Amino acid sequence: MPRLNRIVETALYVDDLDRARIFYEDKLGLAPLLKTKTLFAYDVGGSNVLLLFLRGASLQTQNAAGGTIPPHDGSGPLHIAFAIDTDELPAWEAKLDQLGIAVEGRMQWERGSTSLYVRDPDGHLLELATPGLWRTY
């Protein structure tokens, strides 16, 4: 069986790209890779990409010079986890507090990882997790 190596992209669907941009760029510090009228793409750690699609804007097949992208969309609050270094956990807690971003939950995992849970402006649950969460992380 051929092997899947890793997840390259993760997608969230947002109601307002500019509001999402302010949150992900200005507050979380992600660097933009691509900006269109319906999609913003961000570098996460130099090895992953976060895609923010304008909700409802990708319900039709998208045709481009290189081929087609089938329709997709999402609704409701979704969940993603960002990896953070253990020694940066206090700095993240201070930064979130300074920005007025409420930590909705905190979890200490059996393997030694700590997770902080916050929401983006569209209600998606974002987890900031230190190493030890999974056998692979």
Give the active site residue among 88, 93, 110, 127: 127
Q: Which residues contact 1 (CB under 8 A, 6 or more apart)?
A: none
DSSP-derived secondary structure for 40-58: EEEEETTTEEEEEEETTTT
User: Known catalytic residue: 127?
Assistant: yes
Strand order through the sheet with 9-14: 9-14, 48-54, 39-44, 31-35
Report the C-alpha gap between 102 and 98 in whole angstroms: 10
Q: Report the phi/psi class of residue 10: left, alpha or beta, with left for phi > 0 and alpha for psi in -120 to 50.
A: beta
Q: Kindly list the catalytic residues.
A: 127
